[in-house]
Amino acid sequence: MAAQISPTAVLLIILAALVVGAGAGFAFGSSRAKRDVTEQIEKAESRGINKGIEQRKREAEAAIGSAEKEAERIRTSAAKEAEDRKKAALVEAKDEIFKLRTDAEKEIKDRRSDMSRQERRIQQKEENLDKKTEHFERKEEQLQNKIHQAEERLAEAEEIKKAGTEEIERLKKSEIDMLERISEFSKDQAKEYLLEKLDQELVHEKAVKITAFDQQIKSTCDDIARSHISMAIAKCAAEQVSEVAVSVVPLPNDEMKGRIIGREGRNIRSIEALTGVDLIIDDTPEAITLSCFDPVRREVARIALEKLIVDGRIHPASIEEKVDKARREVEKRIKQEGERAVLETNVHGLNPELIRLLGRLTFRTSYRQNVLNHSIEVATLSGILASELGVDANMARRAGLLHDIGKALTAEIEGSHVAIGVDVCRKYKEPAEVIHAVEAHHNDVEPRTAIACIVQAADAISAARPGARSENLESYIKRLQKLEEICMSYEGVEKCYAMQAGREVRIMVKPEIIDDERMVLVARQIAEQIENDMEYPGQIKVNLIRESRAVDVAK
């Protein structure tokens, strides 16, 4: 069944068609109108542009014409200005040329005038020179004449002198002959007599003057030396305590004496064998005396004994241990004493081995005077005397401190302490002045330097003070040292100790070198040498000890 369209729908369709048609017509009309307007505008613009271009062209042509006129004007003006400047430059150049020519002509004229004046002066000088030459020639001629006359007169004088000399000789000869006849002396005899008499008078006069001068010098030197020495002694007030050959060890009670002696005396024998010191145990209450000429051994024994008493265990093994410790302590003290001496005397740069040797001197004595204290005193006196005399005080103190260094090794090395000291100083590179002072301080060589003389004087001052030294003790110690030196000179001897004030010598031998059969022969040889080389009171017992040890460790 066909669909039916309502009237309202038909009306709407018609309205829509009208609207679409109207819109299309409006669009077409407006597009055409727009084209017309655009064409009109383009035509108008084309006409306006052509007019503007023509106007601008006319303006440009007018400007170009004005510029050409201005350029022509500028060119004309520049050409005129250049011409004016050229003319001015030509005028200025002409003026400059004229001025230069005028100046040159004036300078030439002045130079010609100067040359003329110089020529006139030279001519005048030549004339004066000619005149002087003529004058000198005349003078020379006159001098030649005078010289000739003088030579003639000299020849005459020589003839007169010769004649006079001959006459004088003749008169002298006649006088001498007459004197010889009168005095019965010949010329040579008279001359000899006069010379001898004159010589006697001169000798007497010289002797008188020399004696007076010598007395004056001695008096002056004595006064100066006395003043310097008094000042040095006043500045060096050193204390001195005489060293002795014994030490006393206090005991807590008398029962300790028995423990020190030990069963069948084994402890005391062990101590004496290890230290080389005599232990004197007598009725003195609570004390043991240690006797030995060597202070080092005595000090080792004293320290070891004190340690044993404190420890309470006294037997051979403990004794050996304490003796070793005591030796180490003594070595430490030796080093400290050497450093103290160096510090006290203000001596620097010593070899450490020399310092150690100085420390050993604290246990050495010379005529009961402690050698280290003596060396310090000599060093101090030497420094003071050197300062007073204007000599190097540092070098003098060094020489004074080392002058007895050889005494630290006299028990180990053969020779005098002077020779040993010189060798030690040379070994450790001491200055030549120090070595010479050590060598000359006992006049083994002649002192050649002021320092050597100062050390010699200081040594004498230190030793000569009352109470400083004792001759008897020194002789005793030297005898014991010589006794030990004789024993140590034999092959196979390990240690040697002089005991009982030199009445016994104990010798420890090496068992691998000296056997039991040879011990008797060696003991006899040592005894014979002691008899031949030494002087001693009473008898000396030679005691050889041969010990063999076998040590093992139980683990």
Convert the pLDDT of each residue in 245-283 to its tens digit. Answer: 567 888 888 888 888 888 888 888 898 888 888 888 877
- Please compute the mean of the pLDDT values over residues 180-209 and round it to a whole number: 69
pLDDT for 226: 58
In DSSP terms, 543 is beta-bridged to 506
Q: And the tokens for 186?
A: 């010949």
3-state secondary structure of 39: helix
The answer to whether residues 364 and 346 touch, using CB atoms and an 8 Å cutoff, is no
Residue whose entry in the numeric block shows the structure tokens 């180490």:
328
3-state secondary structure of 498: strand
Cα dist from 523 to 92, 109, 511, 532, 539, whole Å? 140, 133, 15, 14, 14
The answer to whether residues 245 and 301 touch, using CB atoms and an 8 Å cutoff, is no
For residues 128 and 122, give the distance between their C-alpha atoms in angstroms, rounded to a whole number. Answer: 10
For residues 401 and 383, give the distance between their C-alpha atoms in angstroms, rounded to a whole number. Answer: 10
Where is pLDDT greater, at 386 or 535?
386
Q: Is the confidence at residue 538, as pLDDT, over 90? A: no
Beta carbons within 8 Å of 390's beta carbon, 6+ residues apart: none
Phi then psi for 489, rounded to 5 degrees?
Answer: -75, -10
In the chain, the percentage of residues whose pLDDT exceeds 90 is 15
Per-residue pLDDT band for 240 (boundaries 50, 70, 90) equals very low
For residues 402 and 418, give the distance between their C-alpha atoms in angstroms, rounded to a whole number. Answer: 11
The answer to whether residues 483 and 540 touch, using CB atoms and an 8 Å cutoff, is yes
For residues 290 and 381, give the distance between their C-alpha atoms in angstroms, rounded to a whole number. Answer: 35
Per-residue pLDDT band for 23 (boundaries 50, 70, 90) equals low
Helix (H) or strand (E) holding 530: helix 516-533
Per-residue pLDDT band for 396 (boundaries 50, 70, 90) equals very high
Q: Is the confidence at residue 553, as pLDDT, over 70? A: yes
Enter the pTM of the model.
Answer: 0.46
The 10 Å Cβ neighbour count of residue 530 is 17
Work out the widest C-alpha separation in the chain, in whole angstroms.
227
pLDDT for 413: 75
pLDDT for 157: 84
pLDDT for 328: 93
The 10 Å Cβ neighbour count of residue 485 is 16
Q: And the tokens for 46?
A: 């084309």
Q: Is the confidence at residue 464, as pLDDT, over 70? A: no
Residue whose entry in the numeric block shows the structure tokens 């590179």:
429
Between 196-210, 310-324, 493-507, 514-528, the lowest mean confidence (pLDDT) is in: 196-210
3-state secondary structure of 543: strand
Beta strand extents in 384-501 (DSSP E only): 493-499
Summary mean pLDDT of the chain: 80
Q: Which letter does DSSP use for residue 428 in this model?
A: T
Q: Is the confidence at residue 41, as pLDDT, over 60? A: no
pLDDT for 61: 78
- Please compute the mean of the pLDDT values over residues 196-210 and round it to a whole number: 71
The answer to whether residues 509 and 548 touch, using CB atoms and an 8 Å cutoff, is no
In DSSP terms, 509 is beta-bridged to 493, 546
In the chain, the percentage of residues whose pLDDT exceeds 70 is 78
Q: And the tokens for 394?
A: 């540092």
166-170, 219-223, 281-285, 394-398, range with greatest mean pLDDT = 394-398
Helix (H) or strand (E) holding 544: strand 541-546
Residue 512 CB-density burial (10 A; 0-12 exposed, 13-18 middle, 19+ buried): exposed
Residue whose entry in the numeric block shows the structure tokens 């005149």:
131
Q: Is the confidence at residue 83, as pLDDT, over 70? A: yes
For residues 158 and 164, give the distance between their C-alpha atoms in angstroms, rounded to a whole number. Answer: 9
Per-residue pLDDT band for 3 (boundaries 50, 70, 90) equals very low
3-state secondary structure of 300: helix
- Please compute the mean of the pLDDT values over residues 369-398 and round it to a whole number: 89
Q: Is the confidence at residue 293, as pLDDT, over 70? A: yes
pLDDT for 34: 53
Strands 246-250 and 287-291 turn out to be: antiparallel
Amino acid making up residue 406: G
pLDDT for 237: 46
DSSP per position, 303-353 = HHHHHHHHH---SHHHHHHHHHHHHHHHHHHHHHHHHHHHHHHT-----HH
Where is pLDDT greater, at 300 or 38?
300
